[in-house]
Amino acid sequence: MGETVTLAGDGTDANGDSLSYQWILSSLPGGSLSEMADSSARVTTFTPDLAGVYVAQLVVCDGDLDSEPCAIQIQAFTTRTKAIAALQGLETEIAELDSGAFKNDDMQNLLLNKRNAVIANVEAGKYADAVNQLRNDIFKTCRR
C-alpha cells in the first residue's frame, strides 16, 4: 500500500495496425480513490491508497476491433496485515519442526500459543509488546 504499481500491456496486430490501450481499475477496496496515471498508455501506473484487492483491466484496440478484457488482481497490504500474515504462516512451520528443536515436549504448543499472543499484540497496534514477546518468550523457546 502506498507503493506505485506499474502495469504494462503489449500486443501485435495481424494487419500491422497501430494499437491503442485502455486501462481501468474495475474493482477497488471500498473508499479507495486510486486511479490510473494514464489510462490510455501502453505502460501505466497507479498507487493503492487502501489495503485490499485491486483489479486492473486492459482492453487493446487496433482501430476496428477491441480485444477481450484482460484483468489482473493486485493485493495491497499494510505493514500490519503483512506482519500478521507472516506470523499466521508460521503455524505450519512450527508444527513440522522436529521435536528435538524444543527443550521439552510441551514447548511446541507453548510456541504456538505465544505466536497467537504476538499476533494479538500486532492486531492491537502494540508493536513494542509484540517485539518484546518475540525476544523474551519465543526466541528462548527453541534450542540454540
DSSP state of 36: -
> How do residues 85-111 score in pLDDT, each as one tens digit?
888 888 888 888 887 888 887 888 888
Categorize the per-residue pLDDT at 11 as very low, low, confident or very high, splitting at 50, 70 and 90. Answer: confident
Q: How is 100-121 classified by DSSP, letter by letter?
A: GGBSSTTHHHHHHHHHHHHHHH
pLDDT for the residue 94: 84
CA–CA dist 1, 51 (Å, integer): 6
Question: What's the whole-model pTM score?
Answer: 0.64
User: Which one has a higher pLDDT value, 82 or 27?
Assistant: 27
Q: Where are the domains of the chain?
A: 5-76, 79-138
> How do residues 41-88 score in pLDDT, each as one tens digit?
999 999 999 999 999 999 999 999 999 999 999 999 888 888 888 888
Closest CA to 7 of 30, 51, 39, 29: 39
CA–CA dist 16, 3 (Å, integer): 36
User: What does CATH list as the number for 5-76?
Assistant: 2.60.40.10
Are 111 and 85 contacting, i.e. CB atoms less than 8 angstroms apart?
no
In 4-120 the beta strands, taken as DSSP E runs, fall at 5-8, 20-27, 43-46, 52-61, 70-76
